[in-house]
Amino acid sequence: MTKKFKFKFNRRAFAYPYMIFMLLFIVTPLVIVLINAFLADDGSFTLKNFGEFFSNSGGGMTVLGNSLVIGLVTTLICLVIGYPVAYFLAKYHASNKILVLLFILPMWVNFLIRTLSTKAIFMALDVNLGMGTVLFGMVYNYLPYMILPLHTTLVSIDHSYIEAAEDLGADKFTVMTKTIFPLSLSGVASGITMTFIPAISTFAISEILSSSKIYLFGDAINMHFSKTTNSFGVGSVMSLVMLVLVVITNGIANLTSKDEEVKSVL
């Protein structure tokens, strides 16, 4: 006798809709991109798409290098600005939570609207659109993604560590560099990940705030998937390269978090 399948409404059942969603809108598109990367225009198997990208005949590697540099600069600026802000918010978190809300509010507005508004301000001030305005737009849009994980980590630090360092005679600078900053490295890693990946893959910000004069990796992917270019193979290869960068960055962030957990236990 064959056993009849009986659906049991338990906690596991709540995961089924999410699994179906992942299968349809995450796994399936990734499989399609992977297949397109190895397909020629006539539908045959080829490695020409990889050769075209890595040979830099279409300037793909140059664009990738420029995007990585701009992403690193954006992330560094966000970290330099975001860490003091996150520390200030964490210090006064208990007494004035409205300050945290002020930094979250911009994230409630669509980033395209924020970018168009920024461009309108630059145009009104007669500022020439170029690399400076693109960097400003990236920092403006991604700074909250640096501040929030840092703020969460700094708030969760046990204050007894700070008190112990002060009791042992450490000044404020030593407390910051030897106690607070090492304990917040997991937040730093999360903030870098949440800032660096969008910065190297963006295309709307660079296109709008430079009047299409600055060409980044996201712009290249968007161009290859457009109807006018119709080079899905090379675009798929570039998407896979971006996926590899995401995996590497997340892996480094996870290793940093695990090392910090081990140090805290020891």
Query: Is residue 80 a part of any domain in this protein?
Result: yes
For residue 184, give both structure tokens.
């917040």
Between CA 168 and CA 180 the distance in angstroms is 15
Tell me, yes or no, whether 202 lies in a domain: yes
The domain total for the chain is: 1
CA dist., res. 152 & res. 103, Å (int):
13
Does any domain span residue 78? yes
Evaluate whether residue 210 is within a structural domain: yes
Is residue 211 in some structural domain? yes
Enclosing domain of residue 260: 58-265
Do the Cβ atoms of 33 and 236 come closer than 8 Å? yes
Q: What is the largest CA-CA distance in the chain?
A: 80
Walk along the chain (266 residues) and give the pLDDT tens digit of each residue: 555 556 566 777 788 888 999 999 999 999 999 999 998 877 888 888 898 888 876 678 888 998 999 999 999 999 999 999 999 888 876 656 777 777 778 778 888 888 999 999 999 999 999 899 999 999 999 999 999 899 989 988 888 888 888 888 888 889 998 999 999 988 998 899 999 988 988 888 988 999 888 888 888 888 888 766 668 888 899 999 999 988 888 888 777 666 555 555 44
Task: Return phi, psi of residue 57, to 5°.
Answer: -65, -30
Residue 24 lies in a domain: no
Whether residue 42 is contained in a domain is answered as no
The Cα–Cα gap between 53 and 121 comes to 37
Distance CA 150, CA 217 (A): 27
CATH code of the domain containing 165: 1.10.3720.10
On whether the CB atoms of residues 253 and 188 are closer than 8 A, the answer is no
CA dist 149 and 253 (Å) reads 12
> In angstroms, what CA-CA distances link 104 with 12, 146, 235?
33, 11, 34
Helix, strand, or coil (residue 179)? helix
Instruction: Please enumerate in sequence order all residues whose Cβ is within 8 A of that of 127, keeping only pairs 6 or more positions apart, or say none.
Output: 133
CA distances from 259 to 25, 74, 247, 254 (A): 33, 26, 18, 9
Domain annotation covers residue 27: no
What are residue 45's DSSP bridge partners?
39
